[in-house]
Structure 1
């Protein structure tokens, strides 16, 4: 892969990004301990990374089709034989590093009109490390002369073992169809009660979005580290927990899957308008092992 990682450091915290691999985060470690899933050496696959940006929409658009501004729009299906378009453009396209410092970087992507997205945009992703947290911001600007639908998100993979517990507050959960589109809204505890710390691993698939998310989620690791993921501009949290896995995803997003085909829809950016979403992961290493776990 002709993509030299950009390595950032602040105190014991280290991160690496690959601009050519969808602007993805390759790893995030604290004092040599991985906090997110580490990308394999030499991999250029965003789906193998620690995290990747979701722009200009998050999750799925059913069959890549939707009505907008009086037209029937069709996007390319961009995930093999999967029936829906997924995760936007940013994760499958090269970004360019514009500002690089020892502890921060700004990546930029300019999109022209094509079958992946029918409107031009400029996206910026800024990553900054402090001694005890990483912050990431993602912005999307409509650089065209007509309105466009817009959405943002991040897709981090957190590590988990049998002792890892998860806690967050939400008002509801959407159950999914077999092809992973939202089907019906149910109570937030229908697939597990995360309102109190509970084991995150399990033998069933969770690939569902939570509405009315409080904007924060806490991960209590078996090694005594506590991670707090918080976000602004994200009213929804998509949780991906594969069965019997070693990692899981907490995806702060601005809209639910297939929102563009549903009441409420997605945000609409006027020409020249910008929207932004930010995420931070805070690290607390002062906890004794298994602290706070019921």
Structure 2
């Protein structure tokens, strides 16, 4: 598997051609994300780019412009099509230097997604963190449904996740079914265990939900921060192209390693958006969509 090492200041990163995935991000000797081994499989979708849809589509079925489509169901235990089709493809490197790499991937019409897209992902490591930009261009003749998100598992420090504090500016959470994690409806986070608008300890709270009602600053960015009780931390920021945020505390049943990191996924649309249409990007022929996010030590 080809991979590309980036360096800037105290930061270093490794990006793989497989899935255009972020394999490692470090600040000094400290990991900022849960890494995965060189050359091996990518577990739990760590660090991938999820496109042309983020999250899941119920039963892999959706209707678009009057035509029903059937995708492969790759999340068999929940009967869903999960995290798009550009993983585990190998992306092609287009440009590279010591602190920057750009990769691309072309989607040709296929069963379930008969649309043609060209995607590019750039990773730029600077002295203030890693900046990622994903651009999709519809190279086909008709309109295409589209969505995207990253899939890093952030690490605040060496203490267990339960001891970390978490802060992110979302006023609403999407309730989901407990068995398949499919959308039920929005509710406010007021007086709810998922209200992290002010920094507080995660504790034993289990989260695998999408949030919205996100507050963006005057520069059009939103920010999430997690901190370890030892004083280290990591943050993620993203632009208004992503009005949704999936948070997952990485809860696993034994013997799998439990709560290794916090999955933080700024999304252009919520789960099952190919069916609901909510915030779904309708990419016209020749049109381009861009989303960006950053990860930094704090």
Structure 1 residues 136 and 45, CA gap change in structure 2 (3 angstroms): same
| Structure 1 spans left out of the alignment, 5+ residues | 285-294
User: Which whole-Å deviations, capped at 9, do the CAs of 1:209-239 have from their partners, x for residues lacking one?
Assistant: 0011222111122342232211011100111
Consecutive aligned runs of 4 or more in structure 1 exceeding 3 Å deviation: 79-82
Alignment-derived partner of residue 13 in structure 2: 15
Query: Paired residue for 2:165?
Result: 165
- The alpha-carbon deviation at position 118 of structure 1 amounts to 1.9
Summarize deviations over 1:154-175 as a string: whole Å, max 9, x none.
Answer: 1110125243211011121111
Deviations 1:170-210 (CA, angstroms, capped at 9, x unpaired): 121111112011112111253332011122352x5311100
Alignment pair present for 1:71 and 2:72: no
1:80-99, aligned counterparts within 5 Å?
A: 80-99=76-95
Q: 1:66-215, aligned counterparts within 5 Å?
A: 66-115=62-111, 117-160=113-156, 161=160, 162-177=162-177, 178-189=179-190, 190-202=192-204, 204-214=205-215, 215=222
* Residues 152 and 276 in structure 1, CA contact (< 8 A), matched pair in contact too: no
Distance 1:184 1:14 in 2: 40
Contact 1:106/1:127 (CA < 8 Å) preserved in 2? yes
Aligned counterparts of 1:255 and 1:39: Cα–Cα separation in 2: 27
Cα pair distance change 1:25/1:201, threshold 3 Å: farther
Counterparts of 1:116 and 1:101, CA distance in 2: 37
In the TM superposition, what whole-angstrom CA distance separates every residue of 1:95-149 from its partner, at most 9, and x where no partner exists? 1111011000001001111125221110000000011211001111111001111
Q: What is the TM-score with the length of structure 1 in the denominator?
A: 0.89
Q: Deviations over 1:33-58 (max 9, x none)?
A: 10100112432225263x11111111
Q: Where in structure 2 are there 5+ consecutive unaligned residues?
A: 216-221, 252-257
**TM-score normalised per structure 2:** 0.88
Distance 1:92 1:82, change over 3 A: farther
Give distance in 1, aligned partners of 2:118 and 2:290: 12
Aligned partner of residue 212 in structure 1, secondary structure = strand
